[in-house]
Amino acid sequence: MLAILGAIETEVADNRRLLSDPVELRAGHLAVHRGRLHGVEVLLARCGVGKVNGAMATTALHSAGATSLLFTGVAGGVAPGQRVGDLVVATDLVQHDVDVTALGRPPGQLLGEPASWATDARMTARLATAAHARAAHDGRQVHQGRVASGDQFVASAPRAAAIHAGFGALCVEMEGAAVAQAATTLGMPFAVLRALSDTADHGAAQDFPAFLTGSARLMAEVVEHYLRADQSKIAL
Ligand code: SAH
């Protein structure tokens, strides 16, 4: 069963409202809603902000019977030419706040862990198709590439540029790579969709709350395209 996870209430509210025959359950510490979304049986949950919360929720959802996981949330764009409202489909994720460079490791890499965690190719292809289908309505951009996560709200153009240059990341957020690490360890296929609420610069603290609701609605519409796609052709 597919689990759909977001960090904050606004990121999960639209999908939860659209859930039919919802049943509330607990998976360890996590409140989970189970039901049908656009005709597909799913688990929905909100993990809270940050990497530890993302990893814990991923583990809890796996224990509750999730066999694949789709993370949807907002992010700050760090690549040139991006605009608030653009969509980002992750191909792989890094933890930009990991620093073991004093012991000779590359920035972002932990001992025994890969340099980045790759998303599931089939889910990601399906997610990209869904994002393009939604973007076709109003001509917004869809970017596909690396996402950088850390326990930092980035609101500085130089810091954003450094994360883009240092990691080749398209956007910065606070949960994705932790979800990716946990899901990879558990052997659970996953994909990550982000909508840009800000561009991680000096305006981010104002832009993030201003564009959160619109970005969340946009992602719920991408999720609808994802779930309504021909399920006989591409497995969840
Ligand atoms: N509303 C919370 C804080 C949310 S932090 C509070 O008031 O405490 C921002 C959330 O959106 C995180 O879940 C993160 O994944 C994402 N995000 C959006 N823009 C970001 C940015 N510029 N830097 C880091 N995370 C960002």
Q: What is the pLDDT of residue 229?
A: 86
Average pLDDT over residues 166-191: 98
Question: pLDDT, tens digit, for every residue of 72-129?
Answer: 999 999 999 999 999 999 999 999 999 999 999 999 999 999 999 999 999 999 999 9
13 dihedral zone (left: phi>0; alpha: psi -120 to 50; beta): alpha
Please confirm, yes or no, whether 11 is among the known catalytic residues: yes
Given the structure tokens 């929905």, which residue do they identify? 44
Provide the percentage of residues in the chain whose pLDDT is more than 70: 97
Residue 233 reports pLDDT greater than 60: no
Whole-angstrom CA distances from 83 to 75, 92, 139, 140, 151 are 11, 21, 12, 9, 23
Q: How far is the CA of 175 from the centre of ligand 1 (A)?
A: 9
Q: Which residues of 92-125 are buried (b: 16+ CB within 10 A; e: fewer)?
A: bbbbbbbeeeeeeeeebbeeeeeebbebbeebbe
Average pLDDT, the chain: 96
Rounded to whole angstroms, the Cα distance separating 147 from 179 reads 12
Amino acid at 232: S
pLDDT in tens, 183-217: 999 999 999 999 999 999 999 999 999 999 999 99
Is this model's pTM higher than 0.95 or not?
yes
State residue 119 phi and psi, 5-degree precision: -75, 165
Q: What is the mean pLDDT of residues 46-51?
A: 98
Q: Could you tell me the fold of the domain covering 2-227?
A: Rossmann fold (3.40.50)
Domain extents in the chain: 2-227
Distance (Å) from CA 171 to ligand 1 centroid? 12
3-state secondary structure of 50: coil
pLDDT band, very low/low/confident/very high, at 230 (cuts 50, 70, 90): low
Locate all alpha helices (DSSP H) within the chain, ordered by sequence: 9-17, 51-63, 121-135, 157-167, 176-186, 204-228
Mutation probe of ligand 1 site: the residue of 8, 95, 175 with most atoms within 8 A of C-beta: 8
The per-residue pLDDT for 234 is: 47
Contact 167, 176 (CB under 8 A): no
Burial class (CB in 10 A: 0-12, 13-18, 19+), 87: buried
Ligand 1 center–CA 129 separation, angstroms:
26
pLDDT at 139: 86
d(CA 26, CA 12): 16
Pocket of ligand 1 (CB under 6 A): 7-8, 49, 73-76, 153-154, 172-175, 197-198, 200, 204, 208
**Active-site hit among 86, 175, 198, 224:** 198
| Model confidence pLDDT, tens digit, residues 98-111 | 999 999 999 999 99
